[in-house]
Structure 1
Amino acid sequence: MKRILILANNDIGLYKFRKELIQRLVKNYKVYISLPYGNYVPELEDMGCEFIETPISRRGTNPITDLKLMWHYKEIIKNIKPNLVLTYTIKPNIYGGIVSRISKVPYIPNITGLGTAVENEGILQKVTLFLYRLALKKSHCVFFQNKENERFLTSRVFIKRKRLIPGSGVNLHQYSLLEYPHSTETHFLFIARIMKEKGIDEYLEAAEYIRENYPYTRFHVLGFCEGEYESKLREMQKRKIIEYHGMQSDVKQFHEFAHCTIHPTYYPEGMSNVLLESAASGRPIITTNRSGCKEIVDEQKNGYIVEEKNSLDLINKIEMFLKLKYEDKKSMGISGRIKMEKEFDRNIIVNSYSEEIDKILG
């Protein structure tokens, strides 16, 4: 049986966003997964994957640590002799790509976002782009999740073959169209890692203004909290401006009562899964004019687009949403669902991978 090796930086993303692809792969291939141990590893093993524990410093820039990762990938490829390597996220794409190239193993990287190292000019950007040149040159095909990432990288790095896919897509059965809630209060959701670049400051500022002027509104915050925001969230919850729910493994229960998802990010996204899942559930969305987010919104049809880092624009769009009639809000949600069915069905991604894999493995 031919062998496929998947390199990733965490189990959560692999299980939640690549599960359907893995389910298809294990039917025909022996599938190995290389990533740090996490709670979803047993689920992936139950699907038929063989797990190889691989420590990764996701945001660290220590060259010694990264060299150890590259050496680890070299040993893995030497031992299991894969017929194909699939990589996701920056470090697996770069170091897994370089080792696959050296080992002369076909490989397919997925650019899930360029990250701040590439987006911000400086020495780190130059080093990262140099590494991308080494990693991507001999790839069979590079998958991009949005056009701006594709334009930026292909203008600086030679890529012989590429495909644009709609992010990770969304499982339309798992995130089915929910009944739009009838309630006297209007509930907004923020779902993201609680960090500056995800737009939490703009969300909190908007929540404070809107709650003061529209007391029938409720603002919810879901996600793992970076330490610097913990006290601020607790203080704003005490003042009843927000409701902080912490990290949630299943957000569907929140979509059931929510009227709108707000994602004011300016983080370098591939394609926002938060927005895809919200739209698939029939919820209008408000997000920034940023690649990986703006593609999911048809302005005033299924949501609104705001300028990044602009709290006043966010407040304005929230007020526009609040002034809509119930049926118009509901219609927005349905339009979002239709858009997901046409453009972002996860089967599109699974089929794209299957086509490329068949070209290599037959």
Structure 2
Amino acid sequence: MKIVLFANTDWYLYNFRRSLALALHKAGHELLLLSPPGPYGEKLRALGLRWEPVPMERRSLNPLRELALLRYLTRLLKRERPALVHGFTIKCAVYGSLAARLAGVPARVNAVAGMGYVFTSNDLKARALRPVVRALLRLALDGEGARLILQNSDDVALFERAGLVDPGRIRLVRGSGVDCWRFVKRTGERSGGPLRVLVAARLLWDKGLEEYVAAARELLAEGRRIEFLLAGTPDPGNPAAVPEDTVRGWVNEGVVNWLGHVEDMPTLLGAVDVVALPSYREGLPKTLIEAAACAQPLITTDVPGCREVVTDDVDGLLVPVRDGKALAHAIRRLHDDPALARRLGEAAWAKAHAEFDERIVIRRTVDVYRELCGPLEMPAEQVARERRVA
């Protein structure tokens, strides 16, 4: 069976959907991966996967350019004649599904990780675009041959309330999955050095970076021995991007240590003491699951997506959104109580393996494909590993 995976960046395909693509490829299915051009496309090709760049600009609002993109995708799908198109993020869901319908593709699956800039921002442009995007989503997600995969229960309720899709076509699959066994479980006592706190995320304001810096300032002013780490790079294609000059200003102030892009996340996550993500909203944050697979104590906000991973005072700490003081208090608790940090980390490790391992997510995603396309074979060893995890 030929399957198209379409995302708004090659980075997303490589970091979040590589395992799904490789599992399908190994099972003998024909894969075509689509995204705007980028350096990760060649990495996907090096894995034996077929990847093609498409002329898509994430921030474009030019009607002529957008119509040209839709025409390009429609022609491509007519030429390729896939059985199923799977789009990721709202823009790819809309364009991929519309092109698939025009090209006569029988099955359309869309995975929306959170509501995106148009629905989470209150700026004028986002508010103006919201009715248009709602209408396009209804058109794209409609039809018997369509399924919508959402990553958390809050988004399921939101889509149902908004009437964007028939509730019978929604499927809940928690996240894109993590290969939990790549991450080494941290054991033993923390070293005698400063507490190392990490936020690993795209450098966007809505990841809570302003609150993280405010918490760092407060705790450092108390004279606490804490090192605040920030891993990630600017995302100029996103309207919520934090300017690089602002990040460098935080570094020069001595508030954070900016690590930039980190390729080896298992090593980094195993070398810190606390992982935080004070985000305003998520689909289901992969970084928190990776940190949980290292048995790290987690701090995140009580918002959709994040609270799917963390239950307060059970496997992490939840804080109110946009509240730097509450974030500082949570970090202070873990700094003062190593036993609490260990207990939360152990519970997070158990939850990550039981609920978020990538084999579980791949199996459930393939089950959605089977609803639309019928029997779809997967490697016997993949199925066996899924059973051991599940």
Matching residue of 1:124: 129
5+ long unaligned stretches in structure 2: 236-240, 376-390
Partner SS state of residue 94, structure 2: helix
Q: State the one-letter code of the partner of 2:139.
A: L
Q: Deviations over 1:301-321 (max 9, x none)?
A: 222111111111111212122
Matching residue of 2:20: 21
Work out whether residues 179 and 256 of structure 1, in 8 Å CA contact, stay in contact via their aligned partners in 2: no
Work out whether residues 6 and 85 of structure 1, in 8 Å CA contact, stay in contact via their aligned partners in 2: yes
For 2:40 and 2:187, locate their aligned partners in 1 and report how far apart those are by CA, in whole Å.
Answer: 30
Q: CA deviation at 1:293?
A: 0.6
Q: Deviations over 1:184-235 (max 9, x none)?
A: 3101001112222111111111101101214311111111136854334333
The verdict on how the C-alpha distance between 1:120 and 1:202 changes in structure 2, with shifts beyond 3 A counting, is: closer
Q: CA deviation at 1:361?
A: 4.4
Q: CA deviation at 1:130?
A: 0.2
Q: Does residue 217 of structure 1 match 2:217?
A: no
Identity %: 26
Work out whether residues 291 and 298 of structure 2, in 8 Å CA contact, stay in contact via their aligned partners in 1: yes
The verdict on how the C-alpha distance between 1:140 and 1:228 changes in structure 2, with shifts beyond 3 A counting, is: closer
For residue 354 of structure 1, the aligned residue among 341, 356, 366 is 366
Matching residue of 1:162: 170
Matching residue of 1:7: 6
Work out whether residues 170 and 344 of structure 1, in 8 Å CA contact, stay in contact via their aligned partners in 2: yes
The verdict on how the C-alpha distance between 1:123 and 1:240 changes in structure 2, with shifts beyond 3 A counting, is: closer
For residue 192 of structure 1, the aligned residue among 181, 191, 201 is 201
Matching residue of 1:272: 285
Matching residue of 1:310: 323
Q: Deviations over 1:57-82 (max 9, x none)?
A: 22333322222221111011111111
Matching residue of 1:281: 294
Matching residue of 1:296: 309
The verdict on how the C-alpha distance between 1:361 and 1:39 changes in structure 2, with shifts beyond 3 A counting, is: farther
Q: CA deviation at 1:125?
A: 1.0
For residue 211 of structure 2, the aligned residue among 202, 206, 211 is 202
Structure-to-structure mapping, 1:302-341, within 5 angstroms? 302-324=315-337, 326-341=338-353
TM-score w.r.t. structure 2 length? 0.87
Work out whether residues 111 and 143 of structure 1, in 8 Å CA contact, stay in contact via their aligned partners in 2: yes
The verdict on how the C-alpha distance between 1:344 and 1:86 changes in structure 2, with shifts beyond 3 A counting, is: same
Partner SS state of residue 146, structure 2: coil
Partner SS state of residue 173, structure 1: helix
Bigger mean CA deviation after superposition, 125-134 or 216-225: 216-225
Partner SS state of residue 32, structure 2: strand
Q: State the one-letter code of the partner of 2:178.
A: V
The verdict on how the C-alpha distance between 1:169 and 1:214 changes in structure 2, with shifts beyond 3 A counting, is: farther
Q: CA deviation at 1:344?
A: 1.1
5+ long unaligned stretches in structure 1: none
For residue 177 of structure 1, the aligned residue among 171, 177, 185 is 185
Work out whether residues 207 and 278 of structure 2, in 8 Å CA contact, stay in contact via their aligned partners in 1: yes
Q: State the one-letter code of the partner of 2:192.
A: S
Q: State the one-letter code of the partner of 2:293.
A: A
Give aligned pairs, total: 359
The verdict on how the C-alpha distance between 1:50 and 1:166 changes in structure 2, with shifts beyond 3 A counting, is: same
Work out whether residues 119 and 125 of structure 1, in 8 Å CA contact, stay in contact via their aligned partners in 2: no
The verdict on how the C-alpha distance between 1:351 and 1:262 changes in structure 2, with shifts beyond 3 A counting, is: same
Q: CA deviation at 1:45?
A: 2.0
Partner SS state of residue 141, structure 1: strand
For 2:242 and 2:19, locate their aligned partners in 1 and report how far apart those are by CA, in whole Å.
Answer: 36
The verdict on how the C-alpha distance between 1:31 and 1:361 changes in structure 2, with shifts beyond 3 A counting, is: farther
TM-score w.r.t. structure 1 length? 0.93
Work out whether residues 118 and 128 of structure 1, in 8 Å CA contact, stay in contact via their aligned partners in 2: no
Bigger mean CA deviation after superposition, 106-115 or 151-160: 151-160
